[in-house]
Structure 1
């Protein structure tokens, strides 16, 4: 038992050191300003919406649905590594003690998000739904307990079935969490009792199978590797993380986009850079994620200064990161063997980045069509992107 405690303590210390090492580059002063503006604008819009929303709005249903989704995503953090497949075999009977610590940490790290989301929907439940504070507090306590149940249920399911079709288990748990919270907030005692019985009985068969199934090291090692890679890729948007390589996907449904680049020798690098952008997950999803956030902000935030700061910051982040990613590739490519002009790749990368910013500006413009200053939003995105292209190295 002591050796496993030492193993967890050592790994947890190393894990926290890795996270802190990279997160200090992520949460800088610039990002803090953006977050402050986003939270301030979002809070203002939310408070204004609460004042104008009628009592007929299904606030309880919406709150239960949001919490059900938040509760359903409960991936366990085990810090299991590949050598454990060999070195932990002699201690396999003591693994439950190790996983008890892992699940406690998972709960402690994820319950914070549950509480924050619930505090956000609290005013809606109080002002729109007209619930009593005691009912809302009971709903919060139930959400915390449901988080513990979701984490343990997902861990047990992954052990029993090696993670196969875990999305089905997740959907079932989301529905169960939603139904129980809905019953609690509506103060329906019989449905509450029924849902508690269902929730308690749901993972019972898996617990029996866990006793008969060896621990699936391969699945949990892959789960940890994917989780850590997600952290590294997120940090890589803000600083260089060693040994990070974006995965490549075919994306055949976007083949028609390559026709945008005219077929000519002078466009060789432009075509190759564009294919790299479309097929590389890190590049493509970076642009997609920041564009979607900008569009949502343009559509739902109606404070001119706040929206200008947000879309400008996201336009700058998109441009600077894509430009650096597409121009700083040191991998060997077949085009290096051909006598192309010096600096052709950098010029092509700048051109492709400009295309992405233009598309982002158009999307933001259309997303804000319901506001009187929608044209200015798209203009800000394009101007900030163009200035970043010209002024950055």
Structure 2
């Protein structure tokens, strides 16, 4: 077996899958909202920089954020369930395959390291005004080298099934990475060298104590790869249908009981019950809803100008309504739903009611927070605009999208 050729085939399939779903995810109005969000964020970031004090702890913030980003270093293998049988006999010849996976992981994760460093650069140069901008390039090279060491340390430890040892490894590497970046940001290169040596020592211990002694735990590696793939599918499913998505519902008994108490026990409430329970028990929708509320709260308190707070609040209100339209097709592959003796228009009505309620709850929550972040007049203005936007969005945009999906 040519493991290099196997990698090329797996990698080609992965790229095709990514390009297909990314094209579907970033079409329609979501791409416009993302561009507006980035442009607005950059503008208010620049405004915020003008008033940031010289004592702002940018070194510790960069150290924690970048340190955790470096510590999280999974190696992509693209292993599949059948590999447990067909690749077991060639495990000793998989080094080129694993090396390609290491390079791919370094490129993808290194890209995000560079993005976060680029975001922090204006703040860093503002606080450390005497630092040459070229030093950022040195920082990037060092961070990429540290990322490679973290990838090796993770891969060497992936052969163990001891979860406690893996948790300990993550904690130790995270602490070393944080201190390394803190010293790097402050230009203490001697301590950076010491921290790097400690990190290399951790990787060597993982190699000596684990990697050399055990064979690959195929079931664990395949499970991790499947989990990463399903995470991407869940993100893509918020914008388009993903047939390969494996949904694992959450119990959440207390929240389910709280919601179902207010739903009438009759035939016309069948789909209302189904979709409200789907929203609560599915980790995709409920978790995304909470994250969107959290992001909105962050921006209305971070953005200094009232109209900026208002724009971001309405933008995230649109994203909230837009993302949950796909719940209409959540049960598309289940044939027994077609057997419900309930008119199909009640199904559409239930989705309308769910989206309207989600947007309305968000408007009420943000109305109360606008009183704190701005004042009562600002809260009333947002409440009026948010309520009007919710009514128009639900009555025109959501109806047209669901009509196309039916």
Normalised to the residue count of structure 1, the TM-score between the two structures is 0.88
Alignment of 1:1-393 (within 5 A): 3-28=2-27, 30-133=29-132, 135-161=135-161, 166-208=166-208, 209-255=210-256, 257-258=258-259, 261=262, 264-265=265-266, 267=269, 269-302=271-304, 307-326=309-328, 329-330=331-332, 331=334, 343-368=345-370, 369-371=372-374, 373-391=378-396, 392=399, 393=403
- Deviation string 1:235-261 (CA, Å, 9 cap, x unpaired) is 222222224343200123524532651
Structure 1: segments with no counterpart, 5+ residues: none
Q: Once the 2 structures are TM-superposed, how far is the Cα of residue 176 of structure 1 from its aligned partner?
A: 1.1
Q: Once the 2 structures are TM-superposed, how far is the Cα of residue 225 of structure 1 from its aligned partner?
A: 1.2
Q: Once the 2 structures are TM-superposed, how far is the Cα of residue 59 of structure 1 from its aligned partner?
A: 1.7
Aligned 8 A contact 1:65 1:178 in 2: yes
- Deviation string 1:174-215 (CA, Å, 9 cap, x unpaired) is 221110111122233553343222111112222122122111
Query: How far, CA to CA, are the matches of 2:186 and 2:358 in structure 1?
Result: 48
Aligned 8 A contact 2:106 2:148 in 1: yes
Moved more, 64-73 or 264-273: 264-273
Q: Once the 2 structures are TM-superposed, how far is the Cα of residue 299 of structure 1 from its aligned partner?
A: 2.6
- Deviation string 1:148-195 (CA, Å, 9 cap, x unpaired) is 112222222222347666444333222211101111222335533432
Aligned 8 A contact 1:301 1:307 in 2: yes
Over 3 Å counting, the alpha-carbon distance change for 1:35 and 1:342 in structure 2 is closer
Aligned 8 A contact 2:300 2:373 in 1: no
Moved more, 52-61 or 287-296: 287-296
Aligned 8 A contact 1:125 1:136 in 2: no
Q: Give the secondary-structure state (helix, strand or coil) at the position aligned to 2:160.
A: helix
Aligned 8 A contact 2:279 2:286 in 1: yes
Moved more, 219-228 or 42-51: 42-51
Query: How far, CA to CA, are the matches of 1:205 and 1:324 in structure 2?
Result: 47
Query: How far, CA to CA, are the matches of 1:345 and 1:32 in structure 2?
Result: 29
For the aligned residues, what is the CA RMSD? Answer: 2.8
Query: How far, CA to CA, are the matches of 2:74 and 2:365 in structure 1?
Result: 33
Q: Give the secondary-structure state (helix, strand or coil) at the position aligned to 1:159.
A: coil
Over 3 Å counting, the alpha-carbon distance change for 1:162 and 1:348 in structure 2 is same
Moved more, 313-322 or 328-337: 328-337
Normalised to the residue count of structure 2, the TM-score between the two structures is 0.86
Q: Once the 2 structures are TM-superposed, how far is the Cα of residue 27 of structure 1 from its aligned partner?
A: 1.9
- Deviation string 1:85-110 (CA, Å, 9 cap, x unpaired) is 12112221111221011000110111
Moved more, 20-29 or 369-378: 369-378
Query: How far, CA to CA, are the matches of 2:264 and 2:96 in structure 1?
Result: 63
Structure 2: segments with no counterpart, 5+ residues: none
Aligned residue pairs total 391
Q: Once the 2 structures are TM-superposed, how far is the Cα of residue 279 of structure 1 from its aligned partner?
A: 0.8
Aligned 8 A contact 2:70 2:177 in 1: yes
Aligned 8 A contact 1:162 1:216 in 2: no
Aligned 8 A contact 2:230 2:246 in 1: no
Over 3 Å counting, the alpha-carbon distance change for 1:303 and 1:23 in structure 2 is farther
